[in-house]
Amino acid sequence: MGWPVIGESLSFIKEFSSPSGIYSFMNKRQQRYGKVFKTSVLGRFTVFMTGREASRILLSGKDGVVSLNLFYTGQQVLGPTSLLQTTGEEHKRLRRLIGEPLSLDALKNYFRFINELAVDTLDGWLGQTVLVLEEASTKHTKEAEMDKEDEEKLTDKQLKDNILTLLVAGHDTTTAALTWLIMFLGENPDVLQNLRDEHMDIQSRYGGTGLTWAEVNNMPYTIKVINETLRRATILPWFSRKAAQDFKIDGLEIKKGWSVNLDVVSIHHDPEVFPDPENFDPSRFDKPLKSLSFLGFGSGPRMCPGINLAKLEICVFIHHLVCKYKWRPLQNDNAVQPTLVRMPKNKYPIVVEPL
């Protein structure tokens, strides 16, 4: 449990900022205590657990075993009608309404805008020193504006709370994913070449007419690269819940009211599912994985509603990047900033040049 009051917070934060993130922190304690253990971090007594059974309990929403567990600040910022705070039938209704403008059919209407924005953004990168994290963040903020037109069925309060929710939940995660992806491509030239081959083949098919909706939905290797990026980086290292009733897992009694967290990093680095887990290898996704082995977009009733939008943004951006440009990093600092969404601390500075 660590020191009085601060618990293991110092060790947790130190490990969180390391290249391996909280995986080292979790792995040491799992070897000592098992897949489920108690600790005290960031001023909270909490339980961390990992594995497919833990995922089923915490993410399925069944049997009322767990409930949401937002920090007080998050509750105040997002508002009571946010998708992240509502439960039951109201959550289902909000998810359906918010999901409509994020469906594949709706995204077809946004495709041209996203495509043009990607081209313009990369044109601005040419010959410049670019902080990928910062530039990708600006790009994603512009794209988020398009969501504001599609919530006419929500009340003004619901509209405000959920626009903020989409910006908070989708902005940093997509930005971080794109940044890590570009970094991993630079570190793995064979993967980059395979990816470039797929996109050059696509470019040869559409010629001078421009990327089409049909082509952007036919990028199988790119989707594997995205999934491997989300596995390797594990942008959201844990999902937090609160025990709504007493329950038992892996021999440990969990009491009602306890904070319980699903350790996603350890799931994504399980060598039985992902051999040599530190290696960046998109071929891991050549075959279907066991359920709850990969949680890049979460799972269950609170799975990321913007999964299709995130994949569309990244696929379009990566297409134009690898077809027209090459890049080189200016720093090799692997430190990670100590925030909930894992991002390179140095924002991954690169120089972009014509291919």
Binding residues for heme, as ranges, are 304
Residues in the annotated binding site: 304
Separation of alpha carbons 191 and 184, rounded Å: 9
With contact defined as beta carbons under 8 Å apart, do 199 and 355 qualify?
no
Separation of alpha carbons 306 and 329, rounded Å: 30
296: nearest Cα among 129, 214, 154, 181: 181
Sign of CA dihedral 249, 252, 258, 259: negative
Distances (CA, A) of 300 to 22, 48, 169, 352: 24, 19, 17, 39
CA atoms within 13 A on the CB side of 224: 19
With contact defined as beta carbons under 8 Å apart, do 49 and 12 qualify?
no
Angle in degrees, CA 129, 199, 330, rounded to 5: 20
277: nearest Cα among 287, 286, 288, 266: 266
DSSP output for 188-253: -HHHHHHHHHHHHHHHHHHGGG---HHHHT--HHHHHHHHHHHHHH-SS-EEEEEESS-EEETTEE
With contact defined as beta carbons under 8 Å apart, do 325 and 352 qualify?
yes
